[in-house]
Chains A and B, each alone.
Chain A
Amino acid sequence: MSTPVATAEPAARTALQNDLLCVADTKLVLGNWFAECVMNGKSLPDFAAMLGMCTASYGQTRAIYHWLDTLDHSYGHLEHGRGRAEIRSMDLLDPAPENWQDFIVSTWLAEQATWSMASGFLRNPDRTVAGIARKIGEEAYFHLKYAAGWFRIIEASDEEGELLRASVTRRFPLALRWFGPLDAADDLHAAGLRDDPLPDIRAGFVGEVRSALKPFGVDATGVEATFEADWRPDARRTGPLPERLFEVIRFKDQEIAR
């Protein structure tokens, strides 16, 4: 059965798959962040939350891989056939967290950015895409609530607040970069496959970040992303995934995976 995406112009069809693969791969790396850092949780509810958010993230990744498998990708190749140059995760998550506050800021920015991108597909003509976007939102609702709880704890300590501000300074420009150059045309919106133009989604993301960080005296206004020569628009990242991170996130044994 053909879907609106299957019959779309080739460029738009490819662009939609690219953006969803960027969300899926970012969720793959995010899920691994939760798994790797779980023992750094401060209490039993942290362990439950991080393991829960880990499995939810993997679930979102695999739902998107399955959808991509119906179009121009192979599920097997996506999950355990790719090298580090093919992974399209947000480079915000490339450097490991430096401390707990950095972990909370990084995972929150990644959740907020991926939800922002997914929210642009809530009314997608392909019902599967719209359904995946909605499910990502329903799960992100509680992931963001978890981060908001931690923000309240961090806010109560000057020292922890300072670590949070340092993390935002390092990570926020990388989150912004994920949305691409401000002047880039949004062909996906023009083709009717994204609900709102990407600059509007990006502006909304900045608004959410500014609002959440207001209690910390962080003014996110005027922060701009920079784009290096090896920026890859189709992957929304710069260069390949770092080797050590790839070693963490890749499937270790294809035979077991089957």
Chain B
Amino acid sequence: MNDGDLYRDDPDFADVECPDCGTTDVTVASLFGSTTSEVLFQCDRCRSCFNWVKWRHRLPPVPAENR
């Protein structure tokens, strides 16, 4: 199992588009890309690789609110 399989249905990445061909058929190649703040993707259609900035101000569940 590689990162692509692990994160294939991850809702955080549902809208990520290939900057070259525009498809959303993209696969996570590495959860941490060329910098810590990026995810490395590969396009399933045109095969180009691209980095995607990950910060969307999302936080893990706040424990005290979910107990």
Whether A153 contacts B1 by the Cβ 8 Å rule is yes
Give the chain B neighbours of A44 by CB distance below 8 A: 30
Give the chain A neighbours of B32 by CB distance below 8 A: 45, 48-49, 51-53, 142, 146
Which A residue sits closest to B30, measured CB to CB? A45
Q: Counting CB contacts under 8 A, is A149 at the interface?
A: yes
Partner of A138, one of B12, B31, B33, B58: B58
B8 to chain A, nearest CB (A): 11
A156 to chain B, nearest CB (A): 7
Chain B interface residue count, CB cutoff 8 Å, equals 28
Which B residue sits closest to A151, measured CB to CB? B6
Whether A45 contacts B31 by the Cβ 8 Å rule is yes
Give the chain B neighbours of A134 by CB distance below 8 A: 57, 59
Q: Counting CB contacts under 8 A, is A124 at the interface?
A: no
Inter-chain CA distance A9–B35, complex, in Å, is 42
Whether A200 contacts B33 by the Cβ 8 Å rule is no
SS class, residues of chain B in contact with chain A? loop
Which A residue sits closest to B62, measured CB to CB? A119
Which A residue sits closest to B34, measured CB to CB? A48
Q: Counting CB contacts under 8 A, is A208 at the interface?
A: yes
A contact residues, range = 35 or more
Q: Counting CB contacts under 8 A, is B18 at the interface?
A: no
Whether A43 contacts B2 by the Cβ 8 Å rule is yes
20 more contacts with CB within 8 A, not counting A45-B3, A119-B64, A141-B58, are: A44-B30, A45-B30, A49-B31, A52-B32, A52-B35, A55-B36, A56-B36, A112-B60, A119-B59, A134-B59, A138-B59, A142-B32, A144-B60, A149-B31, A152-B1, A201-B64, A203-B63, A203-B67, A204-B63, A208-B63
A residues in contact (CB < 8 Å) with B: 43-45, 48-49, 51-53, 55-56, 112, 115-116, 119-120, 122, 134, 137-142, 144-146, 149, 152-153, 156, 195-196, 200-201, 203-208
